[in-house]
């Protein structure tokens, strides 16, 4: 059943993307990095498979029914999944994420996933950056016309035929000896500022490309 739902979700997401007019803003921030960790809030996850990520790419997905569906959606896009979260299998999953990064894979993570609180970064992405040496690239998505779902993250779903942007932030490097909590706060602030900029300055950003 999860595969059928995942297949249906993948088809709907692709059809929705076809209707959108999308621009990538400050895309050089990610294109200049040969390998990186792409970080985005869970609320933007619906469209993130259409961002300018590098391949190969590995994502972390929760060990839940929703995670089962997400894994199949990712698979249809050629994205590898590692199962685990802060609540279940997190330590083993993070070690596998680091091994994937050291093996040449890019990483995509939602620092506030899988259950929130929304827009509050957990320290998993900081651990991955410290152990892999990869820079973190904050990314966000915004659209002119959207619907927010009544989920814990108030997930953003763009309405068909809307204009939309992906906005890429400055790379954030985390050294092995950096203070983990300070790095987490810095990332959280950078991601929230990026998300707020995309929402409040949408028209300016759209015209900048």
Q: What are phi and psi of 40, to 5 degrees?
A: -145, 150
**Nearest Cα residue to 29 out of 54, 46, 49:** 54
Structure tokens belonging to residue 65: 């029914």
Confidence class of residue 50 from pLDDT cuts 50, 70 and 90?
very high
pLDDT score of 113: 82
Confidence class of residue 86 from pLDDT cuts 50, 70 and 90?
low
**What dihedral angle (degrees, nearest 10) is formed by the CA atoms of 197, 145, 44, 14?**
-140
**Mean pLDDT computed over 157-164:** 98
User: Domain limits at 98?
Assistant: 2-207
Structure tokens belonging to residue 191: 């991601």
Average pLDDT score over the chain: 93
For residue range 18-40, list pLDDT tens digits in order: 999 999 999 999 999 999 999 99
pLDDT at 6 over 90: no
pLDDT at 53 over 60: yes
pLDDT score of 143: 98
pLDDT score of 85: 63
Confidence class of residue 1 from pLDDT cuts 50, 70 and 90?
confident
Number of structural domains found in the chain = 1
**Nearest Cα residue to 97 out of 138, 89, 49:** 89
Q: What is the pTM of this model?
A: 0.94
Q: Which helix (H) or strand (E) holds 60?
A: strand 57-61
For residue range 102-155, list pLDDT tens digits in order: 999 999 999 998 889 999 999 999 999 999 999 999 999 999 999 999 999 999
Contact in structure between 188 and 119 (CB atoms under 8 Å)? yes
Contact in structure between 197 and 55 (CB atoms under 8 Å)? no
Confidence class of residue 89 from pLDDT cuts 50, 70 and 90?
low
Distance linking the first and last C-alpha atoms of the chain: 42
């Amino acid at each position: 059943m999860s595969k059928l739902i995942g297949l249906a979700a993948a088809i709907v997401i692709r059809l929705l993307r076809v209707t959108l007019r999308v621009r990538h803003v400050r895309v050089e921030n990610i294109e200049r990095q040969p390998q990186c960790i792409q970080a985005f809030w869970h609320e933007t996850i619906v469209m993130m498979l259409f961002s300018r990520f590098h391949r190969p790419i590995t994502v972390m997905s929760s060990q839940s029914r929703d995670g089962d569906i997400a894994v199949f959606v990712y698979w249809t896009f050629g994205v590898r999944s590692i199962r685990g979260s802060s609540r279940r299998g997190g330590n083993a999953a993070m070690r596998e994420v680091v091994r994937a990064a050291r093996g040449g894979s890019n990483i995509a993570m939602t620092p506030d996933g899988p259950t929130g609180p929304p827009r509050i970064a957990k320290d998993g992405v900081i651990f991955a950056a410290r152990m892999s040496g990869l820079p973190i690239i904050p990314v966000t998505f915004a659209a002119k016309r959207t619907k927010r779902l009544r989920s814990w993250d108030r997930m953003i779903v763009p309405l068909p035929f809307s204009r939309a942007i992906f906005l890429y932030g400055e790379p954030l490097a985390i050294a092995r000896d950096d203070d983990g909590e300070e790095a987490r706060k810095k990332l959280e602030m950078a991601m929230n500022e990026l998300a707020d900029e995309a929402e409040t300055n949408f028209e300016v950003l759209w015209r900048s490309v």
